[in-house]
Amino acid sequence: MSKKLLSISYYLLPMLALSSLLRLILSGQQGLPNLSTVLVFFNGVISDLATFSYLLPILLIFPLLIPIRFKQNKIYSFATQSAVIFNICFWTWTCICEWFFWDEFKTRFNFIAVDYLIYTKEVVGNIRQSFSVEIILGVWLVAVVIISAITLYLFRKNSQAPLKRYYSPLLLLLILIPVYFIDEAPVFKSEDGLFNDLSKNGVYEFFSAFRNNELDFKKLYPNLSHDEMMATMEKEFSTENLLIKRDSEDRLIKIPKTHAVSDKPNLIFITVESLGAKFIGSLGNQDHITPYLDKLSEKSLFFTGIYATGTRTVRGLEALSLSLPPTPGASIVRRKKNGNLMSLGYILNSQGYESKFIYGGHGIFDNMNGYFHKNNFGIVDRTDFEDKEITFSNVWGVADENLFDKVIQESRKSYKTKKPFFSMVLTTSNHRPFTYPDGRIDIPSHTSRAGAVKYTDYAIGKFIEKAEKEPWFKNTIIVVVADHSTEGRGVIDIPVETYHIPFWVYSPSRIKPQRVDRIASQIDVIPTVLKLMNQEAPNLFFGRNILEMKKEDERFFVGTYQKVGYYSNGIFTSLGPKRTIASYLYDPLTKKLSNKIKSEDNEKKAISYYQYASFLFKKGLYHLEEK
């Protein structure tokens, strides 16, 4: 057993040495006082040991699984030494990457590092153009050879040696280190963010960022003082129809001057996969691939100037359920502590509605089922479809027509209970591989996105035709809106024009057809629909009722994982890590972004919106009970 424990040191010591060396170099570059450097070093060792403790069970248990006879041959020795070299390769490469990351962002790994895995093409290109890759690889290989030679020499020399006394308490310490040390450490705490950052272990911070899926806005992005931010938001939240109440925890609660009594219409909310505005004939497309939706544009409230908040389905679901700007990082749908939120489901459930999330695929993907379940939605997904209910499916789920048949079934169930119902429906057919049932449209399956769009259009048309024959239809509002467009992926900057999406509200017995050309955000969809339902509960929603907007009120929010943007009055402002900020002229009609300018007013609003949204979520103030 002593030999097994001794071998652990050959994995641990190179990691401690490399991490400590990096920490000392970074501390020296930042000009920390000598005492602070010593404390950073001490804190860092604790963080490194805690990180290593995650690997310790593998290193202790794996040798026990290998039969003794195999441990005497050269293959086992080669495999063991290869594992040591791989460990050295990993930690040396990590230290090099961390040094460059710190040089650019002045922080340990965070969600931007995770983001780099998503934007591989751009990141690799940027590295090639910014640095001498050959020199970096050369330095790395030289370091690996030197450290490996020293480590393997000691490994061979001491492989038969008994376990030395000082190894025992070290291993015991590793085993007993609580995991919370990584999040709650350093032992010596400071108000200085630089001190605390240097104390951390970069590898753990990388996986922590992946798990938490967010970036610290206050730490990385342009900020205002808290009071200035709150004053700006009070002004922005105030309208002619709303009073603003600021509670003791700095939540701005909208209090309607009047509150209409609702007759509680049903709501079917169809979120369409990747339905960018560029596909819609009513918005200028000449390919005739949305014949039904073009007809719907004439029979419904048709909003022509809506901009999605992101480029992923989960970001769209966030906007359409929470009415919250896209805070940096991944969607709240995928984050921790994303339950019991102030959502559309909460508002309607409090009015006696039965709310469901209905999806033709497996809702475990992107944590959609978890998110909606924790926010009091019933879940209906691929696992709830019987074989006889499916005529076609692909990797993403059942065909849209099968999904909509399920929506009608679920609506009938809710109608029988005499409860109003709210169904958040998510389609899948307009997604690669663009396959769908044969014989529905004149474009063969699996040929192009145009075919997928036309099939989705067909399925929505058939659904509404069937729904119109149901007894619950007369008292039902049907919303059709995209989750995002098909472009804007694979880039770190924000291609504003690609976020444009369509939005329809159809209820012939309740809503008069009208074309609404206001420029607005996806987060404005919920407040608009609530107003049409005669619902206007006090809430934290950032969105506005588009029908009450004036020209000067037009604005929208868009974002990637790293950058977030805000448009208002012809000016688009982009905020990025390293506290970068830039403003441009943007024309929503021509979709042209040009002429970098300075706009203190627009930049102040942009910072305030995102700073306040991040503040609310981080402090737990967007939650209903837990703080």
DSSP for 545-558, please give it: -GGG--GGG-EEEE
Give pLDDT tens digits for 118-139.
555 555 665 665 677 788 889 9
- Residue with structure tokens 């700006």? 232
Q: Report the Cα 355 to chain-centroid distance in Å.
A: 23
What does the pLDDT average to over 450-468? Answer: 98
Task: Give the mean pLDDT of 88-115.
Answer: 79
What is the rounded CA–CA span in Å between residue 519 and residue 591?
Answer: 12
The arithmetic mean of pLDDT across residues 421-440, rounded, is 94
| Predicted local distance difference test score (pLDDT) of residue 168 | 47
> pLDDT tens digits for 358-390?
999 999 988 999 999 999 999 999 999 999 999
Higher pLDDT, residue 151 or 185: 151
- For residues 518 and 305, is the Cβ–Cβ distance under 8 A? yes
What does the block give as tokens for 574?
Answer: 């982009």
Does domain 271-541 match CATH 3.30.420.40?
A: no
Other beta carbons within 10 Å of 430? 27
- pLDDT at residue 72 in the model: 65
Is a pLDDT exceeding 90 seen at residue 400? yes
- Output Rg (C-alpha) for the chain, integer angstroms: 28
Q: Tell me what pLDDT residue 185 has.
A: 47
Has residue 285 got a pLDDT over 90? yes
Does position 277 have pLDDT exceeding 90, yes or no?
Answer: yes
481 burial via Cβ count (<10 Å: 0-12, 13-18, 19+): buried
Q: In the structure, what pLDDT confidence band is assigned to residue 160 with cuts at 50, 70 and 90?
A: very low
pLDDT value, residue 429 = 92
| 481 vs 125: CA distance, rounded Å | 35
Cα(289)–Cα(430) distance, rounded to whole angstroms? Answer: 12
Listed residue (514, 509, 467, 538) closest to 265, CA to CA = 509
**Range(s) for CATH 3.40.720.10 in the chain?**
271-541
Q: How many other C-beta atoms lie within 10 A of the C-beta of residue 248?
A: 5
What is the structure's pLDDT at 11? Answer: 81
Distance (Å, whole) CA 345 – CA 355: 6
pLDDT at 397 (0 to 100): 93
pLDDT reported for residue 251: 87
> Which residue, chain included where needed, has tokens 């020209």?
551
Listed range (191-205, 228-242, 396-410, 503-517) with the worst mean pLDDT: 191-205
The stretches of 131-225 forming alpha helices (DSSP H) are: 133-158, 167-176, 180-184, 193-198, 202-212, 217-220
pLDDT of residue 66: 65
State yes or no: pLDDT of 411 exceeds 50: yes
**294-324 tens-digit pLDDT:** 999 999 999 999 999 998 899 999 999 999 9
List the alpha helices (DSSP H) in 301-399.
313-322, 344-349, 368-374
Could you tell me the CA-to-CA distances from 538 to 244, 348, 362, 550 in Å, in that order?
A: 10, 12, 34, 22
C-beta separation of 177 from 53 below 8 A: yes
Any idea of the CA torsion for 513, 517, 519, 520, to the nearest 10 degrees? Answer: 0
In this prediction, residue 180 carries a pLDDT of 47
- Of 90-94, 370-374, 404-408, where does mean pLDDT reach its minimum? 90-94
Q: Tell me the mean pLDDT in the region 537-546.
A: 82
Residues 71/4, Cβ–Cβ less than 8 Å: no
Q: How confident is the model at residue 262 (pLDDT cuts 50, 70, 90)?
A: low
